[in-house]
Amino acid sequence: MSGLDNIPVNVEAPAMPFGSGNTGAILAELETSLQTLLTSGKEHSIDLRSLPLLPGELDYLRERLGKGEVQVDVNALGHSTVIETAIRGVWWVTHRNAIDNVMAEFLEVSFCPDIIRAQRDDVRESLETLAALLAGDNHS
């Protein structure tokens, strides 16, 4: 038995693998979408789970896009997070179910992430709640 057999060998993936055509296409789509956002205000989102990404490509994208200052937690039926990337206007959105499995992952191009924005109907309803609350206070 040779001494070499006893040397442990660790094969490690590089911290940031080279991007493939997939990741290049996603970055290019983000570029176009940001241009559209600026000129027309139109928002866009890329469903990362619908794409045939190779292992490591999601990590590569995450590394490439970096991290901004804003992190959002939404606790509705499951836990969702929105992480601002270092590219402002590009948000990494992850939806989890009640047992914390990732159900969907998107790159969203918008000024304000959709999941955060208060909807008009909800605001209208809240206004009624608030008015009722004030009326109750005045009668008590």
- Judged by CB under 8 A, the stretch of 6-14, 34-42, 46-54, 95-103 that binds a second copy is 34-42
Cα separation, 82 vs 111, whole angstroms: 13
The answer to whether 31 contacts a second copy (rule: CB under 8 A) is yes
Query: For residue 11, what are the CA distances in angstroms to 14, 20, 21, 59?
Result: 9, 21, 25, 18
For a second copy, the binding residues in 57-96 under the rule CB under 8 A are 64, 69-76, 84, 86-90
Q: Which is nearer to a second copy, 7 or 118 (CB)?
A: 118
Stretch that binds a second copy, among 3-11, 51-59, 96-104, 128-136 (CB under 8 A): 128-136
Strand order in the sheet with 79-84: 44-47, 102-109, 90-96, 79-84
Site of interaction with a second copy (CB under 8 A):
19, 24, 27-28, 30-31, 34-35, 37-38, 64, 69-76, 84, 86-90, 110-113, 115-120, 122-127, 129-131, 133-134, 137-138
